[in-house]
Amino acid sequence: MKQTQAFQAEIKQLLDLMIHSLYSHKEIFLRELISNASDACDKRKFLSLTDEKMLPAGMDLEIQLEVDKEKKLLRIIDNGIGMSHEEVTKNLGTIAHSGTKELLKHVQEAKDRPELIGQFGVGFYSAFMVADKVTVHTQKAGTTEGVLWESTGDGTFTTDAIPRPHGAGTTITLHLKPMDGEDESQDFTAEWTLKGLVKKYSDFIRYPIKMKVEKPKTEDEKTDKEKNTETNEFEVLNSQKALWLKSPSEIKDEEYKEFYQQIAHDWQSPLKTIHYKAEGTLEFHALLFIPSKQPWNYYSRDSEYGLNLYVKRVFIMNDCKDLLPPYLRFVRGLVDSSDLSLNVSREMLQHDRQVGAIRKSLTSKVLNTLKDWIQKNRSEYETFWAEFGPTLKEGVANDPTTKEKLQDLLLFKSTASEQWISLDEYIQQKPEEQKAIYYLAGENLTQLQASPYLEKLKKKGYNVLLCVDPVDEWVTKSLNQYKDIKLQSVAEENLDLSSEDEKKEFKGLEERFQPLLQTIKGHLEKHLQDVRITDRLTDTPACLVSSSNGMSAHMEHILAKLGKEDVPHSKRILEINPKHPLIERMLLCQDQTQKLWAELLYNQALLFEGSPLPEPHQFAKSINDLMMKQASL
């Protein structure tokens, strides 16, 4: 007997919001209805494990899409568990959730956030975004009583006891609204639209999703009556190949490659595959890949990154940044969790404890894989490092919790050879008397190899790490030390390279050159913090160094390139080489000549550190004057 009932008050409000196009991503309705159908098939399959009658021999569980273009109808049909009359009234007339007010608040604020639909178990109602009338014909498996539910979303629904012709399962019929303007992607009777949506959201659903499509017969197959007609055939729209749910031993390398190329849109093979299943209190599957090359837009501000998130094989979102820290953003792949709520929103992900646990577990797995990689296949790891090392290094500066793990994964170029070297290898190779791990940061290797800052260190046979990535100065400052050995920039003050005998000799030189130091300091006080003699130089007369608590010139250049406004300029220290002939000669010069040469030395030192000259024209004029004076002698 047909009955008319009113929706729960909150349902009526919810329908009103959906019907009035709160969400622009209306396509999400198909994902919701297919997910519900898949769940129904799961339940019937589970019950059949203990009751064979629930699933007759030879019956395959499946989902069908059926279209009637003329009547603008779309049907989603499954042969799953079905519903009884009581279940229909309960499931389609009320929201089984105590926080209905919270739901409505979120939905009202959720414009253009399709991830929210279904979050509170209301995925079915998304059908009213695209349909002005919805019918549900369902029959519980193991019974002969069918129920026909119908509503136009006007605040009421009707139910009637009518057996379902197909037996157990559910048929949802959507009487589609007219299309929005000329947007063909909103035509949900179009074959290509439905195929695309199934591929996007439901490709890995375990049950085949079939649709009748028009397939022309060959001329040989056609009868005379069929010469100008076409026949309908079922086509399976989804791959059903949830590769990540298989055992790695069952998967060929070529399958991994094809899957990676599909989700990463990359024609190359991945450099590394990480197939991971987490078990215990938190269960999820992950299939991760490390690309062999950077994407063309890797450093673009608009570049998206993050893993694809699935819940029970159903696609939820791509570029989910909450599943891995930013310094692992080169990792591609997906995570499939059965513990998260279906369609969890991006906002909820940020505060979900389970997501935090997944992130921690994945991070640990990736870092352990990298550690194993560097130990067992160094050459392949170096290929990875050349592409993504600068990104991985960001974690040292930005994530103190993983700094200990990351420091052993770092590789550097150095003055010792053209090969990559780790921090552990560096300290194993250094002379016993060497006091620190020395490094120099700059724009490029060619510039650093020729830097005057290396002169004394090369003479003593000390290796120096050459840091050319913008993040390197943050990394070295964050590390500070490795295995109780300090990291020391060779472009900073207080570089201690002298033996005790050399220090005694140096003390006498300080007294001798003190007048010259005072003259230079007084003349260039607006540019310099201090002027000192140094033993770090052998062939160069002078250089600029930063104070231990000041910003280096290289750091200032980086911040300026990043567009930072009001980058503070730190006055640096001019260090002069007392054993250089030019400095010796300055002692004999008159005051004005000392000041002129001091300006030239300062400008030369600026060039050595890669900084622009404050008055390049004046510098060029001074050089020309000296050349003319020399020519006239």
The reported pLDDT for the residue numbered 164 is: 95
Angle between helices 472-479 and 378-398 (to 10 degrees): 70
CATH, residue 25: 3.30.565.10
Q: How far apart are CA 535 and CA 504, in angstroms?
A: 12
User: Residues near 542 by Cβ (< 8 Å), separated by ≥ 6?
Assistant: 574, 575, 576, 577, 583, 601, 602, 604, 605
CA 481 to chain CA mean position, Å: 29
> Looking at residue 627, what DSSP letter applies?
H
Bridge partner list, 73? 68, 175
Q: Average pLDDT for residues 450-455, to the nearest whole number?
A: 93
Which domain-ending residue is among 453, 469, 489?
489
Strands (E), 454-588: 464-467, 481-482, 485-489, 528-533, 542-545, 572-576
Own/partner long-range contacts of 615-623 (Cβ < 8 Å, ≥24 apart): 622/596
Give per-residue pLDDT as tens, 574-603: 999 999 999 999 988 999 999 999 999 999
Q: Average pLDDT for residues 442-450, to the nearest whole number?
A: 90
Q: How far apart are CA 449 and CA 469, in angstroms?
A: 15
Q: Are 67 and 150 in contact (CB under 8 A)?
A: no
User: Residues near 206 by Cβ (< 8 Å), separated by ≥ 6?
Assistant: 38, 240, 242, 313
pLDDT at 214 over 70: no
Within a domain: 267: yes
Residues 205, 226, single domain; the answer is yes
Q: Are 207 and 61 in contact (CB under 8 A)?
A: yes
Q: Are 451 and 373 in contact (CB under 8 A)?
A: no
Question: What is the Cβ-side half-sphere exposure of residue 518, based on CA atoms within 13 angstroms?
Answer: 6
Could you count the other beta carbons within 10 Å of the beta carbon of residue 133? 17
Residues 155, 230, single domain; the answer is yes
Which domain-ending residue is among 376, 410, 444?
376
CATH, residue 361: 3.30.230.80
Number of structural domains the chain divides into? 4
Confidence of residue 121 (pLDDT cuts 50, 70, 90): very low
Residues 529, 622, single domain; the answer is yes
Taking the chain, what is the end-to-end CA distance rounded to the nearest angstrom?
121
Q: How far apart are CA 64 and CA 54, in angstroms?
A: 20
Residues 146, 268, single domain; the answer is no
Residue 92 CA: distances (Å) to CA of 147, 188, 283, 374, 434: 12, 23, 30, 56, 76
pLDDT at 162 over 60: yes
Sequence letter at residue 246:
K
CATH, residue 446: 3.40.50.11260
Residue range(s) defining the domain that contains residue 449: 378-383+392-489
More confident residue, 324 or 353: 324
The reported pLDDT for the residue numbered 133 is: 94
Give the 3-state secondary structure of residue 446: helix
Within a domain: 83: yes
pLDDT at 135 over 90: yes
Q: Are 322 and 349 in contact (CB under 8 A)?
A: yes
6-15, 352-361, 527-536: the lowest-pLDDT one: 6-15
Sequence letter at residue 217:
K
Strands (E), 71-112: 73-78
Residues 33, 151, single domain; the answer is yes
Q: Average pLDDT for residues 381-405, to the nearest whole number?
A: 94
pLDDT at 100 over 50: no
Residue 342 CA: distances (Å) to CA of 34, 279, 414: 13, 20, 50
Q: Are 324 and 363 in contact (CB under 8 A)?
A: yes
Residues 518, 617, single domain; the answer is yes
Which domain-ending residue is among 236, 263, 287?
236
The proportion of the chain whose per-residue pLDDT surpasses 70, expressed as a percent, equals 88
Within a domain: 557: no
Residues 31, 167, single domain; the answer is yes
Residues 271, 202, single domain; the answer is no
Q: Are 575 and 530 in contact (CB under 8 A)?
A: no
Within a domain: 556: no
Confidence of residue 438 (pLDDT cuts 50, 70, 90): very high
Question: What is the Cβ-side half-sphere exposure of residue 452, based on CA atoms within 13 angstroms?
Answer: 22
> Looking at residue 568, what DSSP letter applies?
P
Average pLDDT, the chain: 86
Q: How far apart are CA 164 and CA 147, in angstroms?
A: 7
CATH, residue 566: 1.20.120.790
Bridge partner list, 487? 437
Confidence of residue 23 (pLDDT cuts 50, 70, 90): low
Bridge partner list, 320? 307
Residues 30, 77, single domain; the answer is yes
Start-end of H helices in 265-352: 346-349
Residues 330, 276, single domain; the answer is yes
Within a domain: 609: yes
The reported pLDDT for the residue numbered 507 is: 80
Nearest 5°: the CA angle 375, 381, 383 is: 160
Q: How far apart are CA 219 and CA 352, in angstroms?
A: 59
Give per-residue pLDDT as tens, 262-300: 888 888 999 999 999 998 888 999 999 999 999 888 887
The reported pLDDT for the residue numbered 372 is: 97
Residues 119, 217, single domain; the answer is yes
Q: Are 573 and 601 in contact (CB under 8 A)?
A: no
The reported pLDDT for the residue numbered 475 is: 93
Within a domain: 494: no
Within a domain: 470: yes
Confidence of residue 218 (pLDDT cuts 50, 70, 90): low
The reported pLDDT for the residue numbered 486 is: 94
Residues 414, 315, single domain; the answer is no
The reported pLDDT for the residue numbered 115 is: 46
Within a domain: 301: yes
Q: How far apart are CA 310 and CA 381, in angstroms?
A: 30
